[in-house]
């Protein structure tokens, strides 16, 4: 077995070994406040276009309810809790995985058209205990304790009808906005995240790239929902031994301010017509492969909304930290999957290992989806 395979396996074992310490959520925390009638359901769930606060808690669940009635009861309870009043800037987003539409609950005919289990892409080493899930709960809040408390409460609400499959907390270093008002953060590789994202304030662009429309096929209940991709990506410590010039060539941006190489500022409009040979931005740079900035790739743009994670050190003493990559799109195949295949073999692959995550669908309204289950 090659040294590369051994190193990657050791890296994976270190990441997967931490699941025992965080998969069980003990206790519960009340959201507090007087009982109130939930406001009218929004057209879309929060936590997609909402500016991301500093902290998050993600958990995927396997549904173990005995039948469709039990599943409907579970979704009813989660939907009511998600719609209850919460602290300012706290959002709860509920999503469903492909496994929910297997033979257990008679939902095969209601599966969103583009929903499937996330496959392993080149350079992935997916661990089952960190991948997939029938349900995904995303809680985002200004404080980590608040996100954890609400997730613990939702876990208690689920009771014996669902069990945690994987769980991970996230945070956004230097969380803020760029010069144009788009959310931005700095990842644990030291580079700014968020540049080049579609503008979540642009309704027409969100309708075109994020929200499922009437001409996308699939059951009618999916209109106004979106597909969510989550990728758990561990960063390799060897990155920190590379000179900054090498790091910038791999990413395609300056490390200090996020400006594309050869350009003056992070938000400067640019394309690659004047740099066909990669003299400024290498042809295999991450940003160039992710978004070639030509009309034919415009439809594959995705809305990224990720968080960093940190789990301490593994058995070998290596830092277990990286990125909870999150993106939303109208169609996974046209969006994330196309981008991911375009980046296959990029130099960045040497420094990252995707070990988990999954594909999910965010219903426009969890309560309406719960009602569908009783139809």
In 76-225, where do the E strands start and end?
91-97, 135-141, 162-171, 176-177, 183-186, 192-193
Is the Cβ–Cβ distance between 322 and 18 less than 8 Å? no
**What is the reported pLDDT for 88?**
87
**What is the reported pLDDT for 37?**
43
Q: What is the largest CA-CA distance in the chain?
A: 63
Nearest one of 84, 102, 15, 104 to 324, comparing CA atoms: 15
Measured at the alpha carbon of residue 112, what is the angle toward residues 41 and 182, in degrees to the nearest 5? 60
Dist CA 184 CA 176 (whole Å): 5
**What is the reported pLDDT for 20?**
33
**pLDDT under 50: residue ranges of the chain:** 1-42
Please enumerate in sequence order all residues whose Cβ is within 8 A of that of 166, keeping only pairs 6 or more positions apart, or say none: 19, 23, 59, 60, 129, 130, 131, 133, 232, 356
**What is the reported pLDDT for 70?**
97
Quick: pLDDT tens for 208-222: 999 999 899 999 999
Q: Which two tokens stand for residue 366?
A: 């969890």
Nearest one of 322, 329, 284, 283 to 302, comparing CA atoms: 329
Is the Cβ–Cβ distance between 369 and 75 less than 8 Å? yes
């Amino acid at each position: 077995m090659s040294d590369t395979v051994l190193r990657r396996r050791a890296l994976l074992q270190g990441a997967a070994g931490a699941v025992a310490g965080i998969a069980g959520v003990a206790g519960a925390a009340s959201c507090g406040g007087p009982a109130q009638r939930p406001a009218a359901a929004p057209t879309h769930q929060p936590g997609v276009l909402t500016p991301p606060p500093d902290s998050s808690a993600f958990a995927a669940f396997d549904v173990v309810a005995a039948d469709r009635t039990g599943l409907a009861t579970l979704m009813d309870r989660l939907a009511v809790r998600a719609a209850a009043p919460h602290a300012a800037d706290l959002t709860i987003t509920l999503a469903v995985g492909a496994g929910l539409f297997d033979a257990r609950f008679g939902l095969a005919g209601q599966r969103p058209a583009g929903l499937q289990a996330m496959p392993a892409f080149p350079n992935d080493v997916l661990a089952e205990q960190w991948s997939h899930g029938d349900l995904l709960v995303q809680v985002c809040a200004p404080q980590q304790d608040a996100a954890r408390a609400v997730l613990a409460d939702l876990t208690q609400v689920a009771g014996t009808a669902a069990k945690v499959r994987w769980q991970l907390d996230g945070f956004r270093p230097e969380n803020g906005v760029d010069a144009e008002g788009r959310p931005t953060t700095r990842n644990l590789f030291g580079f700014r995240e968020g540049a080049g994202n579609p503008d979540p304030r642009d309704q027409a662009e969100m309708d075109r790239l994020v929200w499922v429309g009437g001409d996308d096929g699939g059951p009618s209940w999916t209109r106004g929902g979106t597909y969510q991709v989550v990728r758990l990506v561990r960063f390799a410590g060897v990155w920190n031994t590379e000179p900054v010039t090498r790091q910038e060539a791999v990413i395609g941006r300056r490390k200090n301010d996020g400006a594309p190489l050869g350009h003056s500022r992070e938000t400067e409009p640019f394309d690659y017509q004047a740099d066909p040979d990669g003299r400024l931005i290498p042809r295999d740079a991450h940003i160039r492969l992710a978004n070639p900035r030509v009309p034919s790739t415009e439809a594959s743009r995705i809305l990224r909304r990720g968080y960093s994670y940190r789990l301490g050190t593994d058995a070998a003493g290596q830092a277990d930290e990286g990125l909870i990559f999150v993106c939303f799109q109208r169609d996974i195949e046209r969006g994330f999957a196309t981008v991911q295949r375009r980046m296959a073999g990029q130099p960045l692959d040497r420094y990252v290992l995707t070990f988990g995550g999954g594909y999910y669908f965010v219903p426009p309204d969890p309560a309406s989806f719960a009602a569908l289950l009783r139809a």
